[in-house]
């Protein structure tokens, strides 16, 4: 079966392309290590056997700038495919993984260049909320996942106990939030969205149980005054320890996620 249809590369200037060029790397920061640990736990809990599985990841920000989770997934046996709307991020991620044969493409999550029923697994964390057409994006993710395939799809948590959505709103008003449009969802709202396009949601979870301001402060210190991470690092570790020890806290992270399955055709028709 053909997985790829047609990649449409765009050299046009874009918000995400400009951000890719000018935004510094977040790798090595204490909060980035925590982020990576959260992603590992997600994969271990819900993608327990990656061997030989064709894994699609939406956006390549983490590969270019953040956790490099696809490298870890590949080491567990996955066959990763990733895409990003910004060609510069595709190039940066490709440079990071130059010694691996990963398939990285320039594409838009709302119009994917993949065949229907192509991927065994799908991981999307912090992507679809950046588009007004987030339902169209969710429908595309459903389309390209194989029947009985599993997806982990995450977005900002509107019910974050540390009020990150409010912080983002205030920063955006003063043009201090770098990531552009960002819609937050309640866990129930995300589940309803995914079920509306055909997914069967098996579980709700989340990552990054910590105050959003602490993540931002830690990244600022990491980039501007690295020695200050000796202070932010132990603060981050408090929340990392809570995340490890108390699984119930995971659904209260500032990114909420659903674990969803694409039902087989017969099951969909009977619903």
pLDDT at 4 over 70: no
Residue positions counted in the chain: 271
pLDDT tens digits, residue range 10-21? 555 589 889 989
Helices (H), 111-153: 134-144
Domain contains 231: yes
Residue 10 falls inside a structural domain: no
E strand or H helix at 47? none
pLDDT at 98: 83
210-232 burial code (b ≥16 CB/10 A, e <16)? bbbebbbbbbebbeeeeeebeeb
pLDDT the model gives residue 2: 55
Contact 260, 150 (CB under 8 A): yes
Measure the CA–CA gap between 225 and 84, rounded to whole angstroms: 30
Q: Against a cut of 0.85, is the pTM above it?
A: yes
Q: Is 2 contained in some domain?
A: no
CATH for 27: 3.40.50.150
Structure tokens at 41: 């736990």
pLDDT of residue 1: 44
Instruction: Label residue 100 by pLDDT band (50, 70, 90).
Output: confident
Domain with 157 in it: 15-265
Give residue 265's pLDDT: 79
Average confidence (pLDDT) over 214-218: 98
Given a contact cutoff of 8 angstroms between Cβ atoms, the answer to whether 155 and 206 are in contact is no
pLDDT tens digits, one per residue of 116-155: 999 999 999 999 999 999 999 999 999 999 999 999 999 9
- Hey, which residues does 57 pair with through a beta bridge? 82, 123
Separate counts of helices (H) and strands (E) for the chain? 11, 7
| Bridge partners, residue 150, by sequence | 121, 261
Whether residue 128 lies inside any domain: the answer is yes
Q: Does residue 4 form part of some domain?
A: no
**Residue 1: inside a domain:** no
Note the pLDDT of residue 214: 99
223 Cβ contact list (under 8 Å, min separation 6) = 24
Distance CA 186, CA 155 (A): 9
Query: Apex CA 64: angle with CA 59 and CA 65, to 5°?
Result: 105
Torsion of CA 36, 38, 44, 50, to 10 degrees: -40
Number of domains in the chain: 1
What secondary structure does DSSP assign to 148-216, as a single string?
EEEEEEEEEBTT-TT-HHHHHHHHHHTT--TT-----B-HHHHHHHHHHTT-EEEEEEEE--S-HHHHH
Which residues of the chain form beta strands (DSSP E)?
Answer: 54-58, 79-84, 103-106, 119-125, 145-156, 200-207, 255-261
- H or E, element range at 242: helix 229-245
Instruction: Work out the percent of the chain whose per-residue pLDDT is above 70.
Output: 93
Predicted pLDDT of residue 215: 98
């Amino acid at each position: 079966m053909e997985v790829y249809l047609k990649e449409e590369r765009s050299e046009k200037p874009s918000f995400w392309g400009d951000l890719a060029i000018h935004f510094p790397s977040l790798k090595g920061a204490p909060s980035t290590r925590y982020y990576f640990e959260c992603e590992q736990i997600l994969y271990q809990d819900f993608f327990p056997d990656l061997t030989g599985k064709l894994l699609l990841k939406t956006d390549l920000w983490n590969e270019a700038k953040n956790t490099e989770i696809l490298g870890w997934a590949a080491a567990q046996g996955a066959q990763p495919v990733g895409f990003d709307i910004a060609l510069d991020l595709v190039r940066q991620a490709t440079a990071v993984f130059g010694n691996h044969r990963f398939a990285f493409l320039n594409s838009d999550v709302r119009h994917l260049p993949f065949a229907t029923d192509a991927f065994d697994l799908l991981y999307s964390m912090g992507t679809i909320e950046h588009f007004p057409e987030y339902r169209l994006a969710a429908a595309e993710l459903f389309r390209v996942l194989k029947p009985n395939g599993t997806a982990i799809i995450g977005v900002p948590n509107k019910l974050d106990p540390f009020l990150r959505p409010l912080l983002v709103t205030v920063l955006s008003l003063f043009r201090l939030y770098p990531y552009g449009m960002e819609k937050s969802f309640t866990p129930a709202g995300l589940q309803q969205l995914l079920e509306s396009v055909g997914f069967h949601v098996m579980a709700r979870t989340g990552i990054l149980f910590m105050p959003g301001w602490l993540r931002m402060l830690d990244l600022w210190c990491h980039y501007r005054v690295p020695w200050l991470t000796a202070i932010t690092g132990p603060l981050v570790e408090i929340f990392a320890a809570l995340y490890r020890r108390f699984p119930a806290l995971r659904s209260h992270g500032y990114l909420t996620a659903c674990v969803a399955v694409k039902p087989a055709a017969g099951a969909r028709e009977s619903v």
